[in-house]
Structure 1
C-alpha cells in the first residue's frame, strides 16, 4: 500500500518526511489553502518519493507551468475538472500520473467517479468540504463498498495514527494508497515526524 503525505511547505520538514520512505510527497498549488506551497524545484529536495502537485480548477497553462517548474511526477486535481480538461493534460504530459479527487458526501459521490475511468490513473476519495481537502474530517468509509470501478484509489480525509490497524486490514481490491495530511501536523504545512513514523511502522507491522 502506498503512502502519500500531502500539504508540505517547509524544505527541512520535507526532507525529514522523505527520509521515512513515503511514496508520494504532496505540494498544494491552491492559493486559498493554509498549506499553499510557494517552493520551487531548487528548494524541494530530490528524493525517491514522487512529487505531486495539487490543483483546484487551475488553468491548463498554470498546471503545465508548475509541472515543469517543480518537476512534478504526478498531479492531483481537486476541483471540478472535466474529462476534456484531463485529456488535454494527459496529451501534454504522458509520463505524469493523474490523480482525480472525489469529494465524498454520500453514495452519489462514489458514482460520479466512473466518469474519470478513461482519463485518470488514480482516484482519491476525500471528505467533502469547502476547504478542498485538509479538513481533518473522515467520511463514511463504508460508502467505498459501492465503488466497483476500474481505477485504483487513495483514501483521504481525517486519517490519523489510530486508523493504521483498520487500514492495514481493509481488503478493498482497488485500495492503492493512503493520503495523510492535517492529523499529522504540528501546524498547517509542518508534519509531525514521530506521528508519521508511528503510523508507517504500525501499517507495515515493523
Structure 2
C-alpha cells in the first residue's frame, strides 16, 4: 500500500484533522517557509499527534545539533533533508541518530542525478520538482519518465493533488506520496481536501 505524507502542519486544527484520517507521515517544516514552525510549536503539535503517525522534520542545510535535539526530545521520528546535504553530512547525522530514518530530497532534473543521490547513505529518496533557487514546495509537477529504476524506496512529491495523484501512481511506483499546498485553502490546511486526497490514494489500492 502506498504511504501518505501530509506536510507543513502548523496548527492544532491540522493535528485534529490528520488524527481523524491517519496519513502515515506528517511533516513539520523547520526551514525558512511560510509553513515554518519553531521547536516549541512542533513540540506542542507532537504532543497531540496520534502515535500511529510518524512526525517528520523537514530541514534545509540545518546544523546537525538542532536535528539531533529534536529527535532526542521525541518531537520528530524521521528526518527529511531538502538542501545540499552530502554524504559526509548524512553519515555524521546517522551516527548520532542511527534509529531514525533519513529521507533525502532530490530536485529532479534528470535520471542520472536521481541515481547519484540514491548512492548516498539515506534510507529513502524524495523526488520533487526542480525550481531554480527554491528548495521545495513549488506546487509544480515534474516529468515522471525521468525516474529511473531505483533500489531505494522513494516519496513522490511536487504538484500532487487529489485530481492527479492516481494518474501519477499509474506512471510510477513510489513508496509514498507527499502533499502540502494542494490540501490547503488560502494557505491553511483544509480538512475536506486532506480527506479527499487520502481516500483517493487508499481506494486506489
Q: Report the TM-score, using the length of structure 1 for normalisation.
A: 0.88
Residue number in structure 2 paired with 1:34: 34
User: Which one of 87, 91, 107 corresponds to residue 91 of structure 2?
Assistant: 87
Residue number in structure 1 paired with 2:194: 196
Q: Distance in 2 between matches of 1:163 and 1:17?
A: 21
Moved more, 64-73 or 92-101: 64-73
Quick check: 2:9–2:15 contact (8 Å CA) kept in 1?
yes
Secondary structure, counterpart of 1:51 in structure 2:
strand
Which segments of 5 or more consecutive residues in structure 2 lack a partner in the other structure?
A: none
Does residue 114 in structure 1 map to residue 118 in structure 2?
yes
Q: How much does 1:105 deviate?
A: 2.3
Shift in CA distance, 168/121, structure 1 to aligned 2, threshold 3 Å = same
Q: How much does 1:41 deviate?
A: 1.7
Q: Distance in 1 between matches of 2:74 and 2:42?
A: 6
Q: Distance in 1 between matches of 2:111 and 2:142?
A: 11
Q: Which segments of structure 1 move beyond 6 Å, counting only runs of 4 or more?
A: none
Q: Distance in 2 between matches of 1:168 and 1:55?
A: 26
RMSD: 1.8
Number of residue-to-residue matches in the alignment: 198
Residue number in structure 2 paired with 1:123: 125
The superposition leaves residues 40-75 of structure 1 with CA deviations (integer Å, 9 ceiling, x where unpaired) of 423332311000000000111121122234521100
The superposition leaves residues 138-194 of structure 1 with CA deviations (integer Å, 9 ceiling, x where unpaired) of 1111111x2x2321000001101111321443453xx20000111111133x21111
Q: Distance in 2 between matches of 1:161 and 1:195?
A: 8
Residue number in structure 2 paired with 1:77: 81
Quick check: 2:28–2:57 contact (8 Å CA) kept in 1?
yes
Residue number in structure 1 paired with 2:68: 64
Q: Distance in 1 between matches of 2:6 and 2:14?
A: 11
Does residue 134 in structure 1 map to residue 134 in structure 2?
no
Q: How much does 1:196 deviate?
A: 1.7
Q: Distance in 2 between matches of 1:94 and 1:200?
A: 30
Which segments of 5 or more consecutive residues in structure 1 lack a partner in the other structure?
A: none
Secondary structure, counterpart of 1:42 in structure 2:
helix
Q: Report the TM-score, using the length of structure 2 for normalisation.
A: 0.89
Quick check: 1:79–1:101 contact (8 Å CA) kept in 2?
yes
Shift in CA distance, 127/171, structure 1 to aligned 2, threshold 3 Å = closer
Quick check: 1:134–1:182 contact (8 Å CA) kept in 2?
yes
